[in-house]
Every structure is written in C-alpha cells, then in structure tokens.
Structure 1
Amino acid sequence: NLLLGIHRVRSYNAVEIATRSLNVGFLAVLILARSVTVVNVFVAGLAATFLTGAWAFLQVRGVGPGAPRWSRSLFSATVGYGFKAYLVSLFAYLIVRVDLLMVKYMLGATQAGYYSISASVADLLYILPATIGTILFPRISALTDPREKWRLARKSMLATIAVMVPLAIIACLLAKVVVRLLFGRAFLPAVPPFYVLAGAMIFYGANNMIAYLFAALEYPAFSIYAWGVVLVLNMGLNLFFIPQWGIVGAAWSSLVCYLGIFLLELVYVPYYLRRVLGPPTAPAS
C-alpha cells in the first residue's frame, strides 16, 4: 500500500505477483514432497508473505529522509481513520458471510456448499473493480479539491459499470460450463444463484469507486452507518427470502443490499459536497 501511495504501481504489481508465485511454488514443493499439512501450508504462505514484504520494504526504504521511526502523533492521527475503514470493511465482508451462515443454518450444509461456490465464482468478477479502485485511490487522495475527487471517482464508476455489465453477461453464459468443468455436474445447482450474484457484483463494483472516494474523504460517518443498516437489512431479507426461494433467495438478498448501498452512497455524495463546501459557484462572466 505504501508503494501505491507513492504511485509505484509497477512495483506494487511486481510484489503482488511475486507473493502469489512464491506461494504456489512453495505449495508445489510440499505436494511433490508429500508433506501437505495444515501447518506446512500455513508456514508456506507466511514465508512467501514475509519474503515479498521484505522486498517491498527495501523498495520504499529510501523514499523518505532518514531512517523509519515511531511517530506517536502520526499514529494518533490515523488510528481513528483506520478504525472507520475497518468497520466499513467488516460490514461489507459480513454481508457475504451472513448469507452463507444463514443458508447453512436454514437449508443445511449441502445447500451452503452450492452457495459457497456461487459466491466464490462471483468474487472473480469483483477482481476488476477492486483492481481499478486500488489504482484509483492514490490518485483521488492526491487531489485537494473534493469536487475534483468526485469527478474522477464518477468517471471511474461509469467506466466500471460499462465494463462490468458485458463481463457479467459473458460470465452468466459460461457459468454452467465453468462449474461443470471445475466442480462436476453434481454442483450445477450453484449456477442459478450465480446469475443473481453476477448482477449484484455490478453494483458492488460500481460502489467500490464511491467507497474509495469516501476513503479519500476520511470516511464520512454516513458511509459507516449505511453499511451497518444494509447489513441488518440483509439479515432481515434472508429470513424471508431463503425459506421462500432457497439459495437463489440469498443471492437476491445480496443483490438488493448491494443495489441499496450503491444508491444510498451515490445520492449522499452531492449532499456531502454541498454541506462541506457549499453550493458550486457560477463562473464569472
């Protein structure tokens, strides 16, 4: 993340690729050595992260003057921001996990397994907006005018929607083939909820750009409350949708919630800018 903050995107990508490659390489060694255990797999992942983390540290070491040192003032200034970011991430994460837990509790482990596959495949669609947001965030943060931040985030949001819609359609067309090849015919019941979750990912991906805007604006309280409300809404909808429509109902609950958070935050942005900056002034004639 420090590499992104200083706009070294290529270095960031290199570290990410190296981490994944080392992880796969270590796992391959464990498989060939017939030493695959939970502990060994964990240690392999930890070793890959440590090695590439050290490499990343060496790349940022010479950026600032002097040696790195503890700063109480910087920690105090950022711990509140970090806690708000944690709450938003936690609520967003729980929406997916609550779906799965409620499906398992209400329908059993088999249906939960199907839904887990649907959600995992849908997560692949989120890689694109997540990547766009990762590159976008340092650029938004570097801007000083909140309205300019919003213009850049809005352009990225519209571009994300334009790409995600055809991508989701293609994914839906290929879903049966992919699930059959990767998991077998027995797991084809995972396909119908994926159709709904693919649509949900469009709104979730678009909202990702607004989320990075709010992150650059130090997380207005509304963004935290909105995710909390949507999480509660998700649980309520699941109580009604899952008994009626099974795992497809759980997927519809996610779609409604992701659409809801997208619309809430989209409507709130202009209000926030007016409240903080006042109405935009007309150019002088």
Structure 2
Amino acid sequence: MAQFIKATAMTGLTRVISRILGLLAMILVARTLGPEGHGQYTLAYLLATTTIALMNFGLVPTTIYYLANGKYPRGQVLGHLVLFHLLSTALALSSGWLIVKHYADLFFPQTPRTYLDLSLLSIPGILTYRFLQGALLGTQRFDLYNLGQMFWAILHFILLALFVPILKMGVSGALVAEALSWSLSAALLWHWSRSVVPHWTSRINRVLLKGILRYGFYSYVGGLLAFFNERVDIYLINLFQGPKAVGLYSVAVGLAERLWFISHTASLVLLPRISASSDAKWKRRFTPLVTRTVLLMVLPPALLLALFARPILVLLYSEQYLPAARPLQILLLGIVAFSISRILAHDLAGRGHPLLNTYTSALSLAVNVVLNLILLPRWGITGAAWASALSYSSLLFSKIIFYRQLSGNTWRDIIWITRSDLHLYRITIQQALTHIKQRWRGSRT
C-alpha cells in the first residue's frame, strides 16, 4: 500500500500541474478564439481523436497488461506490440484522410476543410506517445511516465501560447501546436522506453500473438464504446446547433473533466498493480479502498465548482461563456460517477475481464445517444449535459454489478468511507509530513 500511495501521489502531483497548465492553455485558446472559433478547434481535434479511437486496437491497456504480468520477456512483448502500433498509425492516418475527403460535409458541416487537414498531423504523435506511456506504466516506471507527462504539458502550453495569442495564427496555429507538442514528447518517450527495455524482438510467438489479439480486441471494443460515450454529445450538438454551441459546451466539459485527474491517476497505478498480483484477498480489499478514497477526494471540489460555476466562467473565460454554467453544474454529477466507474474498469481489466467493460460501455452509450436525441433538441446543451450525466451513472451501476460478482464486495464496500480509512489517511499524512520535515532538515545541513 505504501508503494501505491507514493506512486499515486507522485503521479497525482504531475497530474495536478499538467491539469493546471492544460486549463491555462484552454483559457488562452477559448478567450482568443471565442465560442465559434473554439468550437471549430474542438471539432477539428475531435476528428483526430476519433480516428485514433477507431484504429488503436486497444494497444495501451494491452501493453500495460502484458508487460506487468511478467509472463513473457518485456522485449518480446514490445517487439510484437510495436508492429501493431505502426499498423494502427497507418490506418488512423488513412481513415482520417478518407473522412475529410468524403464525409467532412456530413460530420463537420461548418468546420473549414483546412482545419480538418491540420488536425490529422497530430495522429502519429498521439498514438506513439500513448503507446510508449503504456510501456512505461507496464514496466512500472512511474517516474519516467510522470516526467514525460510534465514535459508534454509544459511544451503544449508554451506552443499554444506562442501560436494562438502571440502570433495570432488562430485555429490553424492551435492545431499545429497540438501536432508539435505530441510529436516532440513522443520522441522523448521513445528514448526512455528503449533505455528501460533495450532489446525488442519481433520474432513471432504465436501464443503471445493470440493473447495480444484477444485482449486487445476486447479492450479496443470497450475503449471505442467509452470514447463515443464521452464524445457523442459533441457530434450531436454540432449537428443540431453548430460550432458555437460546441464551443460553449466544450468549455463546460473541459472544466468538469479537470476532476478526472484524481481517478485517472489512481487507475493508472492500479491496473499494473492488479495485473501483476495473484493475491485474491489483496485485490478484494485494495480496489474498494481506492474507490472510497477517490470518491472522498472528488466530491468536495465538485461541489465547490458547481456552487461557483458562474463567477468561475466569467473570471476565466469572459461573459461570452456564461451559457455553459448550467451544463457544467449538471456534468459534475456524471463526473463523480465516472470517477468511480473508471477505477472499477481498471480492476476488471486487471483481472483479465476487459469484455465486461465492453458490455457496460455499450449500455452507457445507448443511454447517452437516446437521451441526447430526446433532450438536446428541446433543451440545447443543457439537455446534452443531462444525457451525459445519466449515461455515466448507468455506466457506474452496471460496473458495480459485475465487480460485485467477481470480488464478493458489497455496494457499501465500494462507496462508504470507514473508520479504518480515516485512520489510514491520518497515518499516511503524518508519515508524509515526517518525510517532508526530514528532507527539509537534511537540505539545511
């Protein structure tokens, strides 16, 4: 537990700094471009992330799982997976080009073709960066993972600040900044990954290849459904109300999703730990402790953000974005539910059951689409926010059902804070303060 807390704390600190820089970057872009331009930027970048979701083959969770469980040599695992990565990149680029050429007017009717073309430049960098992040997590090199995340966040902020408000390159500048930040960061992670696992071999192992295909397929389908569950509302808002509404809604989503770093941090550390452990009793106690802790950490900032949504939007983005206040408050309900479901998703995947995440994501996506089609035409982006919040809640409830069956834990175990939790938090804080004092005294001598 101590190692998990340390790794989570360091990853969490990195995430906090990265999220702050990401928020500042989002503010710069939104204030400079306005709701219409910000909406076009969001939609163009959505094209890149959509093609990545369609063609990633579940590569990241597969990389983490097979490197962490230690069944095969790491060099052999990465040698196989890098071939999938190259294929994934080629297919993502070609499919993105086909979408722009033949279906741009259908899916992005009010977004200039130039912006869509520029967004495709980010695809190789994003796919490579995420694949190598998976390699570092699978080898439990959280230090290098955190440094890489920090490097990307700083570079991303600097380039966006340079190209958008300073050089005034508009949406095109923002998309070029995205491509450069991902590509340069991927190059750094490539160097680190090769130093951690120096010898990669692509000599085919049929058993390993079959396992990668099976696990990757289940992870891919679940991840694809999860992606569209998170982003289908953007597509529908664009079709019903246009880029300006997308610009307003994406600001609400961006602010609400700042809270995801808590569950994302814990789940990133949890998956390799669960994958590497064969102790069923430890797994049964550990994941509920993480879910309860994440819930305790997410609720207070969510309540504060909901309470002060209007002044925060005016302060950060200007009065142009006030219509995003109500959707932001509603989305926070779903963010809390999604934070817990993400932890359970990584537990299920770590136990070797990624297909269960596919089932729950399919249900949640169906709920999301149906509710959006009903509520969005009537209530606009507020209706879209309700659809997302309710779909995330259905995702949580369905994951809890599967998790209970596998672990034997109850609903109360998953969400109810116990006295032993509070005792553990107190001891952990005391140990952290003692460690900080010792380091501070040592630095003075």
Match of 2:295 in 1: 161
TM-score by length of structure 2 reads 0.56
CA deviation vs aligned residue, 1:160-212 (integer Å, no higher than 9, x gap): 11111111011123322221123210210101011011111000001111010
> Are residue 70 (structure 1) and residue 206 (structure 2) matched?
no
- Inter-partner Cα distance in structure 1 for 2:192 and 2:226: 28
Pick the aligned partner of 1:48 from 184, 188, 202.
184
Query: CA 1:237 to 1:146, structure 2 compared with 1: closer, same or farther past 3 Å?
Result: farther
- Distance in 2 between residues matched to 1:109 and 1:200, nearest whole Å: 23
Q: Which moved more, 1:109-118 or 1:260-269?
A: 109-118
Contact 2:363 2:394 in 1 (8 A): no
Q: Which residue of 2 aligns with 1:4?
A: 137
Distance change in 2, residues 1:103/1:25 (3 Å): closer
Q: Is the 8 A contact 1:99 1:238 kept in 2?
A: yes
Alignment partner of 1:15 is 2:148: yes
CA separation in 1, counterparts of 2:185 and 2:209?
Answer: 24
Distance 2:251 2:257 in 1: 10
Residue identity opposite 1:215 in structure 2: A
Aligned to 1:179: 313
Contact persistence 2:229–2:361 (CA under 8 A): no
Contact 1:23 1:48 in 2 (8 A): no
CA 220–85 in structure 1, closer or farther in 2 if over 3 Å, else same: closer
| Distance in 2 separating the partners of 1:79 and 1:101 | 30
Percent identity, aligned pairs only? 24
Query: CA 1:147/1:103 → structure 2, altered by over 3 Å: closer, same or farther?
Result: farther
Number of equivalenced pairs: 270
Between the aligned partners of 1:120 and 1:184, the Cα distance in structure 2 is 15
**Greater CA deviation, 205-214 or 71-80?**
71-80
Aligned to 1:279: none
User: How far off its partner does 1:31 sit?
Assistant: 7.1
* Aligned residue type for 1:72: I
The 1:47/1:253 distance shift into structure 2, 3 A limit, reads closer
- Alpha-carbon distance in structure 2 between the residues aligned to 1:11 and 1:149: 26
TM-score by length of 1: 0.84
Distance 1:239 1:141, change over 3 A: same
CA 1:60–1:171 in structure 2 vs 1: closer, same or farther (change >3 Å)? same
Whole-angstrom CA distance in 1 between matches of 2:162 and 2:378: 47
Task: Pick from 234, 244, 267 the counterpart of residue 100 of structure 1.
Answer: 234
Per the alignment, residue 272 of structure 1 pairs with 406
Matches within 5 A, 1:221-232: 221-232=355-366
Backbone CA RMSD of aligned residues: 2.5
